[in-house]
Structure 1
Amino acid sequence: MPIREATADDWPRIWPFWHRIVAAAETYTWDPDTSERAARALWMSPAKRVYVAEDEAGSVVGSAFLTPNYAGPAARVANAGFMVDPERAGRGTGRALAEHVLAEATAAGYRAMVFNAVVETNPAVRLWTSLGFTVLGTVPEAYEHPRHGLVGLHVMHRAL
């Protein structure tokens, strides 16, 4: 699966699934009513390295970003975000993006990766665990899930 750095021209192909995922309010802590302009600023920030995964026809089927989680002396701890078009879920796109971003983080000199708020009911928890992430802790009942009610938010970590 081709994965490359995103360009500004990719945003119109990312936005439809970004909006669908965030509006569902099941996996991301961002406001479900985030405007396109605000979403673009969040995802395509110049402080982030953004990637897209494409299918064989060249359609964008997923995206990810890599950025420092902290600043200053702790800037070698990375953070990342991942989204796969729900219509393309279950085809290995998330794993391919994750492996790519982990390799990019390592090559960039990051020493670890931290996810600050992983909704505990998110199916991606299994993926992160399979890739060596551990749950450092869980903030109980921190997330109002539309189907499961109050659920926890995991802080997950992996050394690179």
Structure 2
Amino acid sequence: MPIREAAPGDWPRIWPFWHRIVAAGETYSWDRDTTEAEARELWAGTGRQVYVAEEGGVILGSASLKANYGGPASGIANAAFMVDPEHTGRGTGRRLAEHVLAEARALGFRGMVFNAVVETNPAVALWTSLGFTVLGTVPEAFDHPRRGPVGLHIMYRAL
């Protein structure tokens, strides 16, 4: 499946699954009622590189890459990943992650940090398999809609 930099016209095809995933409230700490305009700014706003995995004209998933910090700490990246729930189980998340890690390295980032990975998110296994480690967990920081309060991992990997 090809992965490419997103074009401005891709957002209308990203938004439906972005909204579905965030509204479910299980894996992202963004407001479940985030508007489309707010979502677009969060995902594709200034300073972000956006990528899509596309197959047969269908966007299967997307990733957003940015500097996690500013100034002298701007060498550490942050990224977010979403795979359309209609297209999971095909390796899209791994392919996007490998691509974004390579892009972050090529852009000069020295490491990548995830600030708030819900500890019950199945993607924790993917991140671990790609070399990320859990630096710490903020206990009961996330109100999961089915499991109640669960922890948020801070994860890191050198590039």
Scaled to the shorter chain, the TM-score interval is over 0.9
Shift of 1:60: 0.6
- The aligned counterpart of 1:39 is 39
| Distance of 1:146 and 1:132 partners within structure 2 | 29
Give the total of aligned pairs: 159
Using the size of structure 1 for normalisation, the TM-score is 0.98
How many Å apart are 1:44 and its aligned residue? 1.0
Q: What is the DSSP-based 3-state SS (H/G/I as helix, E as strand, rest coil) of the residue aligned with 1:20?
A: helix
1:21-70 Cα shifts (integer Å, max 9, x gaps): 00000000000000111111111112100001001x11111000110000
Structure 1 residue 8: Cα displacement: 1.2
Distance 1:66 1:42 in 2: 11
Q: Does the alignment pair 1:68 with 2:62?
A: no
- Tell me the equivalent position of 1:96: 95
- Tell me the residue number matched to 1:22: 22
Q: Which residue of 1 aligns with 2:104?
A: 105
Q: Which consecutive residues of structure 1, in runs of 5 or more, have no partner in the other structure?
A: none
Q: d(CA) in 2 for partners of 1:91 and 1:141?
A: 31
Corresponding letter in the other structure for 2:20:
R
- One-letter identity of the residue aligned with 1:45: G
Instruction: Report the Cα distance in structure 2 between the residues aligned to 1:74 and 1:44, rounded to whole angstroms.
Output: 21
Q: Structure 1 runs of 4+ off > 6 angstroms? A: none
Distance 1:104 1:37 in 2: 26
Superposition map of 1:1-160 within 5 A: 1-55=1-55, 57-160=56-159
Gaps of 5+ in 2: none
TM-superposition CA deviations, 1:69-107 (whole Å, max 9, x none): 000000000000000000111110000000000000111
User: 2:117 is paired with a residue of what secondary structure?
Assistant: strand
CA distance in 1, matches of 2:19, 2:62: 13
Identity %: 73
Alpha-carbon distance in 2 for matches of 1:45, 1:82: 15
Range 130-139 or range 40-49, more displaced: 40-49
What RMSD, in angstroms, separates the aligned Cα atoms of the two structures?
Answer: 0.5
**AA aligned opposite 1:61:** L
